[in-house]
């Protein structure tokens, strides 16, 4: 027998290490603004510092704090930096971190109501809170025929919606007999890649996904959707699913939900709406118009793990007909049978999602909503949009820069007027400086810079600083292009 | 402007609440053994205590500690109780909780190498550690053509394997043109429900999943697999996928991997192996024989979030040909393009999984492996198996009880000799007592009790106590059946 039979941390050790980890995270939040946002690690550089094999005997966990500084932090791209403006944000907050900690400490499985009733009931309840906070159609509340569920991501929500739509359209035959090769789906050319991925996973096939063209605001052209559906019907195909987006990834385009919803209803398509980031704006009544037309949607998702201070993963998915979702995804082996399930009085969320197991994810959202209140959340959303709009105004007023489109919310798409080469050089220069991190898109064929304001601690000073940095980088690039400075240097680096 | 412009927790508030949450979890671990294991909540009782709407103004987070006691804890089925013997375990540990806390604090997205190199490289590295610890075939290591990835669950791993298998079998046509209705898949009647669910999701259709019969040890009969494949081939169908299990859910059956692998290879099927719980036993060389034949597998998964002290979600999936997995799941929109990806020198794990986003899940496994070391983990696995085997011996020696089969590892399937009514009464009596929680299965048509020893803090005394409780409950039931005691009372309750 070993001299320390349990090997477990003692309660005292857990407390001491726990306090230390809390301190480390509190300190991280304080210093993250000063760390290079985009990691400068070279491929393989992290692994090269790790031992080839797991230790034979246990090590003191205090050792990991030194490794965090030496090995891990240099390999982190700091999504929690106030200077992170890339992609969509994945912001967190103190209350959310504490909620995730609590989730880990309780360690329950919420696959069924019976395996922890509080895990299911708090989730249903918080989804209703969210439906009300966002001003969603009442048909998405759990006291209607619909309801909400936390998914891992908008990808998971899209896949569940597609499976439910497939079942409904084929009269509950798809699950039994496999895909009907005639099913066709629709989304805009600007829809998130997760729609195409889910269409592939579900066995529909990429060729059966029609990508509808967008207008100059990167919103789906509904007349072209109608044309595409009619053409498919005429060809004997079975249109079954359309996905619209509130805030596309590249340009934050807002698809016209009322028209798309009418077309979907007319032809019996499942109407899914993806509001992954921008849906959060509906917490403020003055932006709620982005949801106009959502009352026709069969399913909707928005991600508090993007712009609502809640750790990934936390995608809020709402459906108008929960029976359709459950019918498509349910499975009940003998070893999961229990009285509560058979009574029909409870929700078993395993039937609303792809995997069986599930964490107690509503805890973190509960803590966020209670800590900030509606007022605090609205304050930050408004502030982010205000900062983005102010930035956009400066870009529009500058002779060397231009907006790619008027930014509807907190994402600004813009360019230097010097063309793709200039914009690539400016992007690289800013990102390599470590002072800020932006990402890009290609809009109307042109390389376009994206600045998304949504980080928890992004303030006016951070946005002002990145605007200065962009101008300086552009000027330096322009200088490098002048005769005698080497012309178009490939290695321009800001 | 509000009087408290940031609304965020101050660092001091975060520290204070963080310490308090750490203390709450440390206390929870100490007292969980004394709480009723199976929640006694009635449907709706948790929601009834929650306010109808989210708060308008933020509340002090200290309030949640009272709500945890009053509202949440009574609705928890305590998966972390040492008296939890139901299903498969989902055990956690102090190091894992701290790792999950760190993951929440860093808040990074690991969808691509570039979005946090450390998140990708630590994961690849720890998967190699796991491959070595478990003695997996070298073809599952990242320095071969294969490699490991952390999935959300065995369900996710199975779905990814099926998508990759589907693509390979149809010559990369499925993703493009949709499912071929002739594809057929194979698993045993005892395979986990996630296989059937994934087959449905992937558009294969449940009728195209052949459930092969099992032998008296609940292991797949390979000769019947061969027969089924031949029949399908003769009918012009396209067998493409077979899933075998190391430790089935109901009875811990061990499918004969060598024979299944040979059949799969002969007919060109993708060979997936699900070792969700029992795969962990391979950390001990004396149990490694359960993996015999795994060298022919195309994919394998085992879940540290079941029996390796690591919080859900943490499923370790290994593939022999990572190119096949990536080919099936890759997607690269312009806004995710980056130099590291295009260099081909890095792994982008988004192409190994269903969703796009991903957490830094390897942190918790890293902390677990470092804290316990191989020695500490082996100690606990051996101890759990020893306790289960000792319990099985007592059951076998008791005149009123019998084993359903000799338990191969840490799961004991047994029955009272009084038939289904007796066993249901005993199960309900034990579970309603709050002193322990067992689940059931139906084996060879008979209601069977399952006792799985795998909780972090389950010791000999807990297993001894549940054995006493089972005997007492059985005796009380027998008494209630005697003439004059009311006969078969429906409301027998232990």
Domain ranges, ordered by start, for chain A: 11-34+39-76, 108-359, 377-481
What tokens appear for A321 in the block? 């007909």
Read off the pLDDT of each residue in B117-139 and give the average, rounded to a whole number.
Answer: 98
- The per-residue pLDDT for range B329-369, each reduced to its tens digit, is 998 888 778 888 888 889 999 999 999 999 999 999 999 99
Between CA A378 and CA A249 the distance in angstroms is: 22
Read off the pLDDT of each residue in A329-358 and give the average, rounded to a whole number.
Answer: 88
For residue B439, the chain A residues in CB contact (below 8 A) are 335
For residue B22, the chain A residues in CB contact (below 8 A) are 14-15, 18-19, 22, 101
Give me the residue label for tokens 């304050």. Answer: A379
- The per-residue pLDDT for range A262-300, each reduced to its tens digit, is 999 999 999 999 999 999 999 999 999 999 999 999 999
Q: Would you list the DSSP string of A10-67?
A: PHHHHHHHHHHHHHHHHHHHHHGGGS-SS--PPTTTTGGGS-SS--SS---TTHHHHH
Considering only residues B4 and B15, tell me which one the structure prediction assigns the higher pLDDT.
B15
For residue B205, the chain A residues in CB contact (below 8 A) are 174-179
- Give, in degrees to the nearest 5, the angle at Cα B89 between B84 and B91: 95
Give me chain A's average pLDDT, please: 95
Tell me: ipTM over 0.90: yes
Q: Identify the residue among B26, B64, B80, B117 best suited for mutation to test binding to A, counting A beta carbons within 10 A and taking the highest.
A: B117
What tokens appear for B126 in the block? 């720890």
For residue A335, the chain B residues in CB contact (below 8 A) are 87, 249-250, 439-441, 450
Indicate if the pLDDT at residue A493 is higher than 50. no
Give me the residue label for tokens 């805009």. Answer: A188
CB contact under 8 A, A79 and B116: yes
CB contact under 8 A, A109 and B96: no
The answer to whether A362 and A126 are in contact (CB under 8 A) is yes
Assess if CATH 1.20.1340.10 describes domain A11-34+39-76: yes
Q: Which 3 state secondary structure label does DSSP give B3?
A: coil
The answer to whether A352 and A326 are in contact (CB under 8 A) is yes
Read off the pLDDT of each residue in A372-395 and give the average, rounded to a whole number.
Answer: 98
Between CA B470 and CA B398 the distance in angstroms is: 11
Q: Which 8-state DSSP code applies to residue B235?
A: T
Percent of residues, chain B, with pLDDT higher than 70: 97
The answer to whether A90 and A339 are in contact (CB under 8 A) is no
Q: Which 8-state DSSP code applies to residue A70?
A: I
What tokens appear for A173 in the block? 């035959």
With cut-offs at 50, 70 and 90, classify the pLDDT of residue A3: very low
Between CA B285 and CA A333 the distance in angstroms is: 33
Between CA B405 and CA B408 the distance in angstroms is: 9
Q: Identify the residue among A97, A353, A386 best suited for mutation to test binding to B, counting B beta carbons within 10 A and taking the highest.
A: A97
Q: pLDDT value at position A380?
A: 97
- What CATH number belongs to B375-481? 3.90.1150.10
Q: How far is CA A478 from CA A394, A419, A432, A481, A486, in A?
A: 19, 12, 18, 5, 11
Considering only residues A180 and B67, tell me which one the structure prediction assigns the higher pLDDT.
B67
- The per-residue pLDDT for range B294-330, each reduced to its tens digit, is 999 999 999 999 999 999 999 999 999 999 999 999 9
For residue B493, the chain A residues in CB contact (below 8 A) are none
Q: pLDDT value at position A5?
A: 56
With cut-offs at 50, 70 and 90, classify the pLDDT of residue A1: very low
With cut-offs at 50, 70 and 90, classify the pLDDT of residue A345: confident
Indicate if the pLDDT at residue A490 is higher than 50. no
Which among B310, B303, B373 is positioned nearest to B97, based on CA atoms?
A: B310
The answer to whether A414 and A443 are in contact (CB under 8 A) is no
Q: Where are the beta strands (DSSP E) in A183-342?
A: 183-188, 209-212, 238-245, 270-274, 299-302, 315-319
Q: Which of A15, A47, A329 sits opposite B22 (nearest CB)?
A: A15
Between CA B333 and CA B351 the distance in angstroms is: 12
Q: Identify the residue among A31, A44, A87, A118 best suited for mutation to test binding to B, counting B beta carbons within 10 A and taking the highest.
A: A118
What tokens appear for B445 in the block? 């048509």
CB contact under 8 A, B249 and A335: yes
For residue A119, the chain B residues in CB contact (below 8 A) are 75-76
- The per-residue pLDDT for range B370-428, each reduced to its tens digit, is 999 999 999 999 999 999 999 999 999 999 999 999 999 999 999 999 999 999 999 99
Return the axis-axis angle of helices B117-134 and B362-397, rounded to nearest 10°: 30
CB contact under 8 A, B107 and A91: yes
Phi then psi dihedrals of residue B188, to 5 deg: -85, 165
Identify the burial level of A339 via C-beta atoms within 10 angstroms of its C-beta, where 0-12 means exposed, 13-18 middle and 19 or more buried.
exposed
CB contact under 8 A, B39 and A117: yes
For residue B50, the chain A residues in CB contact (below 8 A) are 122, 125
CB contact under 8 A, B193 and A336: yes
Between CA B9 and CA B15 the distance in angstroms is: 9
Q: Would you list the DSSP string of A130-186?
A: HHHHHT--GGGSTTTT-EEEEES-HHHHHHHHHHHHHHHHTTS-HHHH---TTEEEE
Smallest CA–CA distance, residue B385 to chain A, in Å, is 15
Assess if CATH 3.30.70.3270 describes domain B108-359: no
CB contact under 8 A, A57 and B375: yes
The answer to whether A316 and A127 are in contact (CB under 8 A) is yes
A162-181 in b/e burial notation, b at 16+ Cβ within 10 A?
bbbbbbbbbeeebbeebbbb
Residues counted in chain A: 494
The HSE-up count of residue B272 (CA atoms within 13 Å, CB side) is 33
Between CA A89 and CA A116 the distance in angstroms is: 32
- Give, in degrees to the nearest 5, the angle at Cα B155 between B99 and B455: 50
Indicate if the pLDDT at residue A92 is higher than 70. yes
Percent of residues, chain A, with pLDDT higher than 90: 92
Could you tell me which CATH class the domain A377-481 is placed in?
alpha beta
Give me chain B's average pLDDT, please: 95
Q: Which residue of A has its CA nearest to B30?
A: A11
Beta carbons within 10 angstroms of residue B60's beta carbon: 10
For residue B73, the chain A residues in CB contact (below 8 A) are 118
Dihedral (C-alpha) A269, A270, A276, A278: value to the nearest 10 degrees?
Answer: 60
Read off the pLDDT of each residue in B457-462 and give the average, rounded to a whole number.
Answer: 97
Q: pLDDT value at position B1?
A: 37
The answer to whether A243 and A159 are in contact (CB under 8 A) is no
Return the axis-axis angle of helices A322-329 and A154-169, rounded to nearest 10°: 90
Percent of residues, chain B, with pLDDT higher than 90: 92
Cβ within 8 Å of residue B465, ≥6 positions away: B83, B435, B436
Q: pLDDT value at position A333?
A: 80
What tokens appear for B209 in the block? 């999943």
CB contact under 8 A, B76 and A108: yes
Between CA A262 and CA A257 the distance in angstroms is: 8
Q: How far is CA B321 from CA A42, A207, B123, B168, in A?
A: 25, 26, 18, 11
Of the ranges A169-173, A262-266, B20-24, B76-80, which one carries the lowest mean pLDDT score? A169-173
Which among B460, B458, B389 is positioned nearest to B93, based on CA atoms?
A: B458
A102-123 in b/e burial notation, b at 16+ Cβ within 10 A?
bbbbbbbbbbbbbbbbbbbbbb
């Amino acid at each position: 027998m070993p001299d320390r039979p349990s090997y477990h941390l003692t309660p005292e050790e857990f407390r001491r290490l726990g306090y230390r980890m809390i301190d480390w995270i509190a300190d991280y939040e304080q210093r993250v603004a000063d760390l290079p946002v985009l990691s400068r690690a070279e491929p393989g550089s992290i692994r090269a510092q790790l031992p080839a094999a797991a230790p034979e005997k246990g090590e003191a966990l205090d050792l990991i704090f030194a490794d965090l500084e030496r090995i891990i932090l240099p390999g982190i791209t700091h999504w929690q930096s106030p200077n992170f403006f890339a992609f969509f944000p994945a912001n967190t907050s103190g209350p959310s971190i504490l909620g995730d900690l609590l989730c880990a400490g309780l360690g329950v499985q919420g696959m069924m109501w019976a395996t922890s009733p509080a895990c299911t009931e708090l989730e249903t309840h918080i989804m209703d809170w969210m439906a009300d906070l966002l001003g969603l159609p009442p048909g998405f509340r759990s006291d209607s025929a619909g309801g909400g569920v936390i998914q891992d991501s908008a990808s998971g929500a899209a896949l569940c919606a597609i499976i439910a739509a497939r079942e409904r359209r084929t009269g509950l035959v798809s699950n039994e007999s496999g895909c009907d090769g005639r099913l066709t789906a629709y989304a805009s050319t600007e829809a998130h890649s997760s729609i195409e991925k889910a269409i592939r996973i579900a066995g529909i096939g990429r060729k059966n996904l029609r990508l509808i063209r967008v207008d100059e605001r990167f919103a789906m052209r509904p007349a072209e959707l109608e044309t595409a559906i009619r053409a498919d019907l005429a060809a004997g195909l079975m249109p079954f699913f359309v996905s619209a987006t509130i805030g596309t990834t590249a340009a934050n385009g807002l698809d016209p939900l009322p028209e798309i919803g009418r077309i979907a209803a007319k032809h019996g398509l499942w109407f899914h709406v993806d509001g992954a980031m921008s849906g959060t704006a509906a917490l403020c009544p003055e932006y709620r118009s982005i949801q106009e037309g959502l009352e026709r949607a069969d399913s909707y998702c928005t991600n508090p793990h993007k712009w609502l201070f809640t750790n990934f993963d936390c995608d809020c998915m709402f459906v108008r007909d929960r029976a359709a979702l459950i019918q498509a995804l349910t499975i009940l082996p003998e070893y999961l049978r229990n009285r509560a399930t058979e009574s029909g009085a409870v929700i078993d969320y395993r039937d609303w999602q792809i995997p069986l197991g599930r964490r107690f994810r509503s805890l973190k959202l509960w803590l966020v909503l209670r800590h900030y209140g509606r007022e605090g959340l609205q304050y930050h959303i408004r502030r982010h949009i205000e900062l983005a709009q102010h930035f956009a105004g400066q870009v529009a007023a500058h002779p060397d820069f231009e907006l790619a489109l008027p930014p509807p919310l907190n994402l600004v798409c813009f360019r230097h007027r010097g063309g793709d080469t200039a914009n690539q050089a400016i992007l690289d220069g800013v990102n390599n400086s470590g002072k800020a991190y932006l990402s890009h898109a290609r809009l109307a064929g042109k390389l376009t810079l994206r600045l998304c304001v949504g980080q928890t601690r992004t303030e006016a000073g951070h946005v002002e600083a990145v605007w200065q940095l962009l101008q300086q980088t552009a000027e330096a690039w322009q200088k490098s292009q002048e005769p005698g400075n080497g012309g178009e240097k490939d290695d321009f680096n800001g």
